[in-house]
Structure 1
Amino acid sequence: MELNILELRAKAFDYLFDAVVVTDGQGIITDWNSGSELLYGYTKEEAIGQPASILHVLEDSDSITSLVLSSVEKYGKWNGEIRYLHKDGHIGWLESICIPVFDDKQQMIGALGINRDITTRIEETKKLEYQAHYDPLTKLPNRALFFERLEKTLAISKRKKHSFAILFIDLDDFKSINDKYGHNIGDELLHEVSRKLESCIRESDTVGRISGDEFVILLTEIASHDEPGIMAERIIKTVSSPIKIKDSVCNIGVSIGISLYPEHSSDLDELLILADKAMYHVKHFGKNSSEYAK
């Protein structure tokens, strides 16, 4: 005996790879296919009768509901990428499309959502974005991300009449440490120095690694001419304290050049050049100190 059309639809619904969730007008789950069991971890018996909010990350739930409702009312559907909450508590990402369900009088009586897990794709994208913007050794912002933040800071500072500072930092005699202890110790030293630099700055500031043993710090919204110099002295004191790595104790100094916006220049390239020159002047005439651009 051939299956009738309703039976065929029911069979197709249940065997769809995508997770299909049907809710009533109050957002209560009324139907649930095997794809939903795989995606969310609930059996059909566990899911039916539960609010659809059990499938959403708590802090996302209200915004998702309002976004979906407004889109369905305007365009007759909603689609997007959202986080989901699995029965075991882990959080993933899904691509979803939601369409309204109508009765014979064309009154909306619920919704049907078709959902596909895209967690792997999202994580891979985030991984690639991280690799494009962060130094793999120190985990600090790399040159690209630092300059991106620098450009944003310049735009904000021009608009709000704020000042900011650039600190160009070079480790003193780092090559000799590499030669004496080896590159593995040198790499660990760079990592430890990075943590020390991070401990010296505010949350609104940025420290980045732009080459081998060169770092740069962006101090936003400085209150006075002297503030960056005080910060530089703190950095010198912090970084210069002995650093123990495995069985070795490393002593490292830092030479720091400082340039100020808008005092020294309003051009980013010139500010960086000025800070770099000031740093090399320190390096040539004593090391482990700081100097403002001339």
Structure 2
Amino acid sequence: MDIKKKEQRAKAFDYLFDSVVITDLQGIITDWNKGSEDLYGYSQAEAIGEPVSILHVPEDSAHITAEVIAAVEEFGKWAGEVKMRRKDGSTGWIESMCVPLLDDNNQIIGALGINRDITERIRKSEHLTQLAHYDHLTQTPNRYLLLERISHLIDQCERNKSNFTLLYIDLDKFKIVNDSKGHAFGDKVLQEAARRMMKSIRKSDTLARYGGDEFILLLENTRKREDIITVSKILIKALSRTFKLDNDTVNISCCIGIATYPYNGTTSDALLSFADDAMYKAKHKGTGTFQ
């Protein structure tokens, strides 16, 4: 290649809008263009000689470099979406494509990666997912996501010969509060009720707003009836404490209907129906009860 063509290629490399990162087979950065400086925040002098893992989040850095090099060597390319880390510690997402870098004898001596920032696209996608699957008021899963998770749990329990329990939670006295204090105040009560319930359950459990003042709680691996009763009592206690909001106080409680897969139903509809009936039986016993 003559000198003029080399200069033209170098200029094109340096002024590509996308990030271009070149590494050797050990994952050490050997070249770096201006697009990479803009994307990651490292100057060329700072980046060259460093492991490419400085561009990855810690949970990915151990395996992503080896995965890319192995794919490039075996298949001639690698492409994917990767979470990236900038010099200032902030993170984002890139769409990356890597191809082999060859010497004059057609031997692979490294990899060339072209990276494009897709952080905004990912954030918009996550926002749309949030809107589609979560209740805007309480930020808990909505009915759509709840039914998906019930279906997933049924499949999982069928495979593992295990069970799960569904608690149908209906807030007592909420309609009175909503009518007397207004919908804006009622919304704050719902938010606080959801917050209290979330604090009372395990991370592995799912609390969803089913509609209005009704919530569904999914408890995984509930082998003992005593554990279900304990959770029910904890929820009732949490919701029975006085709500202090906007310099005002109100008191509510809840009634809970309980259904356990597979004993009280083997489909989403059957379990929800059984728990709904049980909740109304609890209501007949009085506020702050479960059935």
1:32 pairs with 2:27: no
Q: Aligned with 2:288: secondary structure? A: coil
Q: Aligned with 1:207: secondary structure? A: strand
Determine if contact 2:97/2:113 at 8 Å carries over to the other structure. yes
Percent identity of paired positions between Structure 1 and Structure 2: 50
CA distance in 1 between counterparts of 2:221 and 2:59 reads 32
- 1:171 Cα offset (Å): 0.9
CA distance in 2 between counterparts of 1:125 and 1:268 reads 28
Offset from partner CA, 1:144-197 (integer Å, 9 cap, x none) = 111111111112222222232211111112111012212221111111111121
CA distance in 1 between counterparts of 2:200 and 2:241 reads 14
Offset from partner CA, 1:194-248 (integer Å, 9 cap, x none) = 1121222222221110101000111221122343233222211221111111211
Q: Which amino acid aligns with 2:280?
A: Y
Residue number in structure 1 paired with 2:7: 7
CA distance in 2 between counterparts of 1:27 and 1:290 reads 59
Q: Residue 200 and residue 12 in structure 1: after superposition, are their counterparts in 2 closer, same or farther (change >3 A)?
A: same
Residue number in structure 2 paired with 1:246: 246
CA distance in 1 between counterparts of 2:108 and 2:160 reads 50
How do residues 192-207 of structure 1 correspond to structure 2 at under 5 angstroms?
A: 192-207=192-207
Determine if contact 2:18/2:35 at 8 Å carries over to the other structure. yes
CA distance in 1 between counterparts of 2:264 and 2:83 reads 47
Q: Which amino acid aligns with 2:68?
A: V
List, as ranges, runs of 4+ consecutive aligned residues in structure 1 with deviation greater than 3 Å.
none
How do residues 25-104 of structure 1 correspond to structure 2 at under 5 angstroms?
A: 25-104=25-104
CA distance in 2 between counterparts of 1:30 and 1:69 reads 15
CA distance in 2 between counterparts of 1:141 and 1:22 reads 43
Q: Which amino acid aligns with 1:166?
A: L
Offset from partner CA, 1:19-63 (integer Å, 9 cap, x none) = 111223333322221111111112222222322222222221121
Q: Aligned with 2:187: secondary structure? A: helix
How do residues 1-294 of structure 1 correspond to structure 2 at under 5 angstroms?
A: 4-291=4-291
CA distance in 2 between counterparts of 1:280 and 1:184 reads 27
Q: How many pairs does the alignment contain?
A: 289
Determine if contact 2:73/2:108 at 8 Å carries over to the other structure. no
CA distance in 1 between counterparts of 2:270 and 2:185 reads 35
Q: Residue 19 and residue 144 in structure 1: after superposition, are their counterparts in 2 closer, same or farther (change >3 A)?
A: same
Q: Which amino acid aligns with 1:89?
A: G
Q: Which amino acid aligns with 2:191?
A: H
Q: Aligned with 1:37: secondary structure? A: helix
CA distance in 1 between counterparts of 2:23 and 2:157 reads 50
Q: Aligned with 1:185: secondary structure? A: helix
Offset from partner CA, 1:80-110 (integer Å, 9 cap, x none) = 1112211111111111111111111122222
Q: Which amino acid aligns with 1:114?
A: I
- 1:288 Cα offset (Å): 2.4
Q: Residue 180 and residue 123 in structure 1: after superposition, are their counterparts in 2 closer, same or farther (change >3 A)?
A: same
CA distance in 2 between counterparts of 1:262 and 1:179 reads 39
Offset from partner CA, 1:223-281 (integer Å, 9 cap, x none) = 22343233222211221111111211110011111122222222321121111112123
- 1:78 Cα offset (Å): 1.0
Q: Which amino acid aligns with 2:194?
A: S
Q: Which amino acid aligns with 1:57?
A: V
Q: Residue 29 and residue 285 in structure 1: after superposition, are their counterparts in 2 closer, same or farther (change >3 A)?
A: closer
Q: Which runs of 5+ in 2 are unaligned?
A: none
Q: Which runs of 5+ in 1 are unaligned?
A: none
Q: Residue 24 and residue 222 in structure 1: after superposition, are their counterparts in 2 closer, same or farther (change >3 A)?
A: closer
CA distance in 2 between counterparts of 1:174 and 1:131 reads 25
Q: Which amino acid aligns with 1:206?
A: T
CA distance in 2 between counterparts of 1:199 and 1:285 reads 27
Q: Residue 234 and residue 50 in structure 1: after superposition, are their counterparts in 2 closer, same or farther (change >3 A)?
A: closer
CA distance in 2 between counterparts of 1:106 and 1:33 reads 24
Q: Residue 164 and residue 48 in structure 1: after superposition, are their counterparts in 2 closer, same or farther (change >3 A)?
A: closer
